[in-house]
Amino acid sequence: MHFILTPLAAFMTWLSIHTHIAYIVLFLGAYFEALVGPSFFIPGELFLLGGSILAGAHVLNIWLVMVTLYTGAILGDTSSYWIGRAIGTSIFHERKKYLNFINYRKVEKLLEKYGPGGIFLARLVGPFSKLAPVTAGIFEIPFKTFLLYNIPGVIVGCGEFIVAGYFFGNRYTFLLFVIERYTFLFVLSVLIVFAGYVFFKKKHKHSIL
């Protein structure tokens, strides 16, 4: 688990040392995590959890953390929207890993099914949240309508991480210790149960035949 926990712990340590620029870093992280392109490679949870956990530990101010993260995410989504309006579907290509037409059509169906409400829903579903703003721009959904549904989506989508990080802020060291110590056993147990399920299912199938 070190490869998962170390980046968050290292990032939080760095933020706690450089509190004078912490809010700028959180803003930039939230912005580029929401901007189409960089969003596929930047782990947004690092900034959402890192900032909120330190706020819960009273290292940072929770209100400034919230404003910083929400503003960065909203502006990132807004930039993606205008990118979509400006260049259209040319941003997508069959050979691209994420910006391909298969993913585009998935978001397209979501917006066609739920209308502007799909913008809100997409913000709550990981893969769709990266593509919904740029697709909304391609569809030329009115900007005011986009904001009307996107902002609540950002507040709810980011808020769940902020709330969790804040309320567990003063116990994150213990939580990381528990996860690091027992995750292997948990994963192993899940794999054993799953393997047993597959085995008995196949055995039952053969017995019927």
Instruction: Going residue by residue through the chain, which has 209 residues, state the pLDDT in tens, using 9 for 90 and above.
Output: 444 456 787 888 888 889 999 999 999 999 999 998 877 788 888 899 899 999 988 899 999 999 999 999 999 999 999 998 888 777 777 767 667 777 778 787 888 888 888 888 888 776 677 888 888 888 888 999 999 999 998 998 888 888 888 887 656 555 555 545 555 565 566 557 656 655 665 655 555 45
Claim to verify: residue 161 and residue 177 sit in the same structural domain: no
State which of 149, 167, 185 marks the end of a domain.
Answer: 167
Claim to verify: residue 30 and residue 110 sit in the same structural domain: yes
Neighbouring C-beta atoms of residue 39, cutoff 10 Å: 21
Claim to verify: residue 122 and residue 73 sit in the same structural domain: yes
Claim to verify: residue 187 and residue 89 sit in the same structural domain: no
The three-class DSSP label of residue 14 is helix
What pLDDT, on the 0 to 100 scale, is given for residue 74? Answer: 96
Instruction: Look up the domain containing 127 and give its range.
Output: 2-167
Claim to verify: residue 80 and residue 117 sit in the same structural domain: yes
Taking each continuous run of H as one helix and of E as one strand, the counts in the chain are 9, 0
Could you give the dihedral angle defined by the CA atoms of residues 58, 60, 61 and 63, in that order, rounded to the nearest 10 degrees? -120
Please give the radius of gyration of the chain, using alpha carbons only, rounded to the nearest integer. Answer: 20
The angle formed by the CA atoms of residues 46, 50 and 53, to the nearest 5 degrees, is 145
pTM over 0.85: no
Query: In the chain, how many domains are there?
Result: 2
